[in-house]
Chain A
């Protein structure tokens, strides 16, 4: 059943009109190499589908086969997307807080007529080796990794998981940006 779309012409159109969407997820024991025109790996779904059978999620051991497992995966992905939004907001507020700290350096400087003047230097921002900057870097890596995970999850083209990503992002944005907006309102008076 899997072979009919491996026509040498490699028309993706055949894939969509003749195959039911579940076809994408029958376990294939033989290696199916892509044929014609670089159309991509045939084991991957290339269109959206709603399915619960044999859904591989990110890692090799993680395969969803039942509705219950899909529900669990939905919740996990939802929470991951929510956490991602929260992490973005948290990093923004951390950055703002650490940049509010201004360092003043006063140093004596020779002035006219032999007097000594105090020159004050103002530095805004983070030092390279300061804890806030190192923390920001670590959080940045976590954010990048999670964003790639979410992208890969969306790339499974599984409708349930994609909805989980979108809903989690929306809920996370709603919950965490609410607090951010209040903070913006207070700290940026005379906006």
Chain B
């Protein structure tokens, strides 16, 4: 089948109800897609920062635990600070996995939006990726 990019104010994006007929609807759809792309880039940076923070807090906790154990001369057990740290890590990692699912789904949505071969939508995705990357990636190097 012949597929190529077209400029058009008519498109159906992703869902049956997302049916665009007018320039206003198209403008709104482009904004939504743009926002999705910004969100996608931000999530990538956010995940990395969350992981960094979690690892840092884990090493702080384990060094604290070390100090406690040498002070109290007691053997480590699952209860107390060690168990709480593990539980905290579990919840933190579970949250990260949920964020990962959102990231994967948004990534696929963006791919499918581009697949509509509507040039306005494509511009929205590209511009959104640019804006998102521009705003979010400098935050990676910030501690």
B64 interface contact, C-beta 8 A: no
Bound Cα distance A90, B10 (Å): 44
Note all chain A residues with C-beta closer than 8 A to B52.
Answer: 191
* Nearest chain B residue, comparing its CB with the CB of A33: B1
- Interchain nearest-CB distance for A146 vs B (Å): 14
Known contacts being A12-B12, A181-B51, is A170 close to B101, with CB within 8 Å? Answer: yes
Question: For this complex, into which size category does the number of interface residues on chain A fall?
Answer: 35 or more
Known: A13-B19, A170-B101, A191-B55. A38 touches B93 (CB 8 A): no
- Tell me the A146-165 residues at the B interface (CB within 8 Å): 151, 154-155, 157, 162, 165
User: Is there an interface contact between A46 and B59, defined as CB atoms closer than 8 Å?
Assistant: no
- Across the interface, A165 reaches (CB within 8 A) one of B1, B8, B96, B108, namely B108
Cα–Cα distance between A47 and B89 once the two chains are bound (Å): 38
Q: Report if B14 contacts A (CB, 8 A).
A: yes
Interface residues of A (CB under 8 A from B): 11-13, 15-17, 21, 33-34, 37-41, 46-49, 151, 154-155, 157, 162, 165-167, 169-171, 173-174, 177-178, 181, 184-185, 188-189, 191
